[in-house]
Amino acid sequence: MLMAQITDIHLGFDPDNPAEFNRKRLDQALRQICEMTPQPDLLLATGDLVDRGDQDSYRRLENALSVVPFPVYMCLGNHDMRKPFCKQFPDVPTVDGFVQYEIDDGPLRLLFLDTLEEGRHGGAFCEVRAKWLADRLAEKPDRPTILVFHHPPVESGIAWMNTHPDEPWVSVLRDTIAGHDQIKAMITGHLHRNISTWFEGASLSVCASTAPQVAFDLAPIDPENPDGRNMIVADPPAIALHWWNGQQLISHFETAEEHVMLARYDDNLQPLVRALLAERPDGASGK
């Protein structure tokens, strides 16, 4: 099973511009995903779908995603707003007013969580949302499960984007998933950077954004002393590809750009490919 991911699209950051920079970057990422071989089974769009939570931006998002020939599953981030999102995408399930749902089809069960608290930049996960997750996990304790949500519940090292491990919502999430070994991985966004780590015994992958990205800087930051550091950079739009091999999730991070090609698979490289594959226990097979 192969899952593509985009995140932090921030469509509508430049709302009156028909040639919006973020829309161009989104289209570039979608074009690369749709032209992939093999084609992904589905696309995850993990929050901050639009920048201002407005209806027109969600309408334009639906238009942009219409080119994708396989299912698209979304969750909400801190820039989203539930009411206009649900109006534009009425088929996305909700429960108790939150955009939380499951997709249980194929080798994996996907549980989509709502970590949005409108008006707050960081994440949230209340007892109502936690009960829904606990009930779903209790239903199928042996089913390999992936959690998909926006806010990573870990410190990233980037001071102005950090989540503190003592934030109440992190504790609620941690307590809810404790002991559930069927959770094989978590897929998130929010940080506008590619990051890999662990949380409560499961791998945690953070995909960088299709919108402009956060500059890499692990130095402490003083809210009273602007020091001129880089904050946002226009690196190429990012995508992730999450491959389930039957036992574990392997995450690849890619950029949507024209790569400078230094070598291709031709007669000159065929001996190398044969030798590498012949070393495998299953013999010379690249499948």
Q: Please report how many Cα atoms fall inside a 13 Å half-sphere around the Cα of residue 42, on the Cβ side.
A: 17
| Integer Cα distance of 74 and 97 in angstroms | 16
Q: Are 52 and 14 contacting, i.e. CB atoms less than 8 angstroms apart? A: no
Q: What is the pLDDT of residue 73?
A: 98
| Integer Cα distance of 19 and 55 in angstroms | 18
Q: What is the pLDDT of residue 286?
A: 57
Q: What is the pLDDT of residue 74?
A: 98
Domain limits of the chain? 2-262
| Integer Cα distance of 25 and 210 in angstroms | 6
How far apart, in Å, are the Cα atoms of 66 and each of 63, 99, 134, 202, 240? 5, 21, 33, 33, 20
Q: What is the pLDDT of residue 66?
A: 98
Which of 58, 61, 54 lies closest to 210, judged by CA?
61
Could you list the pLDDT tens digit for every one of the 287 residues in the chain? 999 999 999 999 998 888 999 999 999 999 999 999 999 999 999 999 999 999 999 999 999 999 999 999 999 999 999 999 999 999 999 999 999 999 999 999 999 999 999 999 999 999 999 999 999 999 999 999 999 999 999 999 999 999 999 999 999 999 999 999 999 999 999 999 999 999 999 999 999 999 999 999 999 999 999 999 999 999 999 999 999 999 999 999 999 999 999 999 999 999 999 999 999 998 655 56
Q: Is 2-262 in CATH node 3.40.630.30?
A: no
Which of 172, 158, 169, 173 lies closest to 204, judged by CA?
173
| Integer Cα distance of 212 and 193 in angstroms | 10
Q: Are 76 and 47 contacting, i.e. CB atoms less than 8 angstroms apart? A: yes
| Integer Cα distance of 68 and 71 in angstroms | 8
Residue type (1 letter), 16: D
- The predicted model scores a pTM of 0.96
